[in-house]
Copies of this chain bind each other. A is one copy, B any other.
Amino acid sequence: MSVNLPAPNPAELYPVAGLRIGVTEAGIRKAQRKDLTVLLLEPGASVAGVFTQNRFCAAPVQLCREHLATGAGVRALLINTGNANAGTGEDGRARALSTCVTLARKLGIDPVQVLPFSTGVIMEPLPLERIEAGLDAALADARPDHWLRAAEGIMTTDTVAKAFGTQLMIGGERVSITGTAKGAGMIRPNMATMLGFIATDACVSQGLMQQLATELAEASFNRVTVDGDTSTNDSFVLIATNQAAHAPIDSLASAEGQALKAALLGVAQKLAHAIVRDGEGATKFITIKVEGGTTQAECRQVAYAIAHSPLVKTAFFASDPNLGRILAAVGYAGISDLDQTGIDLYLDDVHVALQGARHPRYREEDGQRVMQQSEIMVRVLLGRGAAADTVWTCDLSHDYVTINADYRS
């Protein structure tokens, strides 16, 4: 089940020059399931990553950070599902490094030029042999037009593969952007999503990449939540293969920089929204916009309090306009000097609460009408400033409980 999330449109998944993708079934946790993916980069690509802030970050996340910090050009990304290699200690690091060494040997590159990614069950040993045994098949599968296979290869509890692409003109040259992501549960990214990869053949100087990746994550993956559980393995990687013929972009303030960033953000937001639309058990896609705060941070804090409230989420699932639950969440969001008499609440175009109390003209049937939609906008006006922020989430249904009570069995 997912909310208004069609399968990827193959015609939109543009090959990115300088990047090939190979996928195989390595039997990591279950048989006959695509679970091992390699992304191979020609020399000269610019790469930046944004990773989970969870202090129990997984072994591959630790290695990604270290390998990127060496400044050695990234040549390969290695992604497995079925096992998160988190909560595995020194042995987990050794296993993650071993997969990099094996792949590097096959490619004739240095192990620090490989970035490893894992997703799946926590605190189980990574099945090293199966991954290493699957590498040859994955490499043999590598082609530029395998984005859909990549999207399928990184799925876990996802019900729909997630991949989007776009094209734009820079300096008279047509450049492509294509990205994929996975994630449906343990989703409240803090600096990144479960796994997200966006590549472009545009030319972007390496010095700009980290800033660009961080700004993209902040306005997309870092604004979605399914269950408030920040994963141990969240990773978002931005790749510019630098194969297009235009002059390299070395400022995000330039016209070309702005155009590229806007196009990248479009893909990043579609991917982030796709994760929520495919949130475990989701039946509704909820946009929570908080305006009128003194800072963006306090708007975000209020938006997440609403987005994480089990009572609000179950009311959305029931299509029940029990909207006092939203006010209660605003009230406990942690803004100690919040004045309830300054607060307005809208559900789409329906003005529900005025100055902290039920609007005199609010009618239950108007709330009911909006609650029955599959796409709902919650708008809270704090009435104390000019800042705003937006968070996207889904409802909490029986299927969320079913999926997470049964995930390992």
Spell out A's residues near B (CB within 8 Å).
53-57, 84, 86-92, 121-125, 185-186, 188, 190, 227-232, 308-311, 314-315, 317-318, 320, 322-325, 327-333, 335-336, 338-341, 343, 353, 355-358, 396-398, 400-402, 404-409
Within the complex, which residue of B53, B92, B231, B357 is in contact with A92, where a contact is CB–CB below 8 Å? Answer: B357
Query: A281's closest neighbor in chain B, by CB?
Result: B401
Contact B398 A401 (CB under 8 A): yes
CA–CA, A335 and B314, complex, Å: 30
Contact B317 A401 (CB under 8 A): yes
Query: A122 with B310: in contact, given A56-B340, A320-B405, A357-B90 (CB under 8 Å)?
Result: no
User: Which residues does chain B contribute within 8 Å of A122, judged by CB atoms?
Assistant: 322, 324-325, 327-328
Tally of this chain's copies: 2
Q: Is the interface of A mostly helix, strand, loop or mixed?
A: loop
User: Which residues does chain B contribute within 8 Å of A407, judged by CB atoms?
Assistant: 320, 322
* Contacts A121-B322, A232-B324, A311-B404 known; 5 new A-B pairs at CB < 8 A: A55-B333, A186-B311, A232-B327, A322-B408, A398-B401
Contact A357 B311 (CB under 8 A): no
CA–CA, A336 and B191, complex, Å: 14
The minimal Cβ–Cβ distance linking A95 to chain B, given in whole angstroms, is: 12
Sampled A-B contacts (30; CB under 8 Å):
A54-B328, A54-B331, A55-B333, A55-B335, A55-B338, A87-B324, A87-B328, A87-B357, A89-B358, A90-B357, A121-B324, A122-B325, A122-B328, A123-B323, A123-B324, A186-B325, A190-B332, A227-B311, A229-B309, A229-B325, A310-B400, A318-B404, A318-B405, A318-B406, A318-B409, A320-B408, A320-B409, A322-B407, A398-B402, A401-B401
Contact A89 B341 (CB under 8 A): yes
Query: A355's closest neighbor in chain B, by CB?
Result: B89
User: Which residues does chain B contribute within 8 Å of A55, judged by CB atoms?
Assistant: 330-333, 335-336, 338-340
Query: A317's closest neighbor in chain B, by CB?
Result: B405
Contact B357 A324 (CB under 8 A): no
User: Which residues does chain B contribute within 8 Å of A405, judged by CB atoms?
Assistant: 314-315, 317-318, 320
Within the complex, which residue of B230, B327, B396, B408 is in contact with A401, where a contact is CB–CB below 8 Å? Answer: B396
CA–CA, A57 and B365, complex, Å: 26
Query: A356 with B56: in contact, given A229-B332, A311-B227, A401-B397 (CB under 8 Å)?
Result: yes
User: Which residues does chain B contribute within 8 Å of A341, judged by CB atoms?
Assistant: 89
User: Which residues does chain B contribute within 8 Å of A88, judged by CB atoms?
Assistant: 357-358
Query: A340's closest neighbor in chain B, by CB?
Result: B56
User: Which residues does chain B contribute within 8 Å of A358, judged by CB atoms?
Assistant: 87-89, 123-125
User: Which residues does chain B contribute within 8 Å of A353, judged by CB atoms?
Assistant: 87, 123
The minimal Cβ–Cβ distance linking A141 to chain B, given in whole angstroms, is: 30
Contact B404 A310 (CB under 8 A): yes
The minimal Cβ–Cβ distance linking A257 to chain B, given in whole angstroms, is: 32
Q: Give 8 closest A-B pairs by Cβ, nearest first.
A: A122-B324, A89-B357, A56-B331, A318-B405, A123-B324, A230-B332, A314-B404, A54-B331
Contact A327 B56 (CB under 8 A): yes
User: Which residues does chain B contribute within 8 Å of A311, judged by CB atoms?
Assistant: 185-186, 227, 229, 404
Query: A325's closest neighbor in chain B, by CB?
Result: B122
CA–CA, A333 and B318, complex, Å: 30
Query: A53's closest neighbor in chain B, by CB?
Result: B332
Within the complex, which residue of B186, B308, B327, B408 is in contact with A87, where a contact is CB–CB below 8 Å? Answer: B327
User: Which residues does chain B contribute within 8 Å of A401, judged by CB atoms?
Assistant: 314, 317, 396-398, 400-401
Contact A324 B186 (CB under 8 A): no
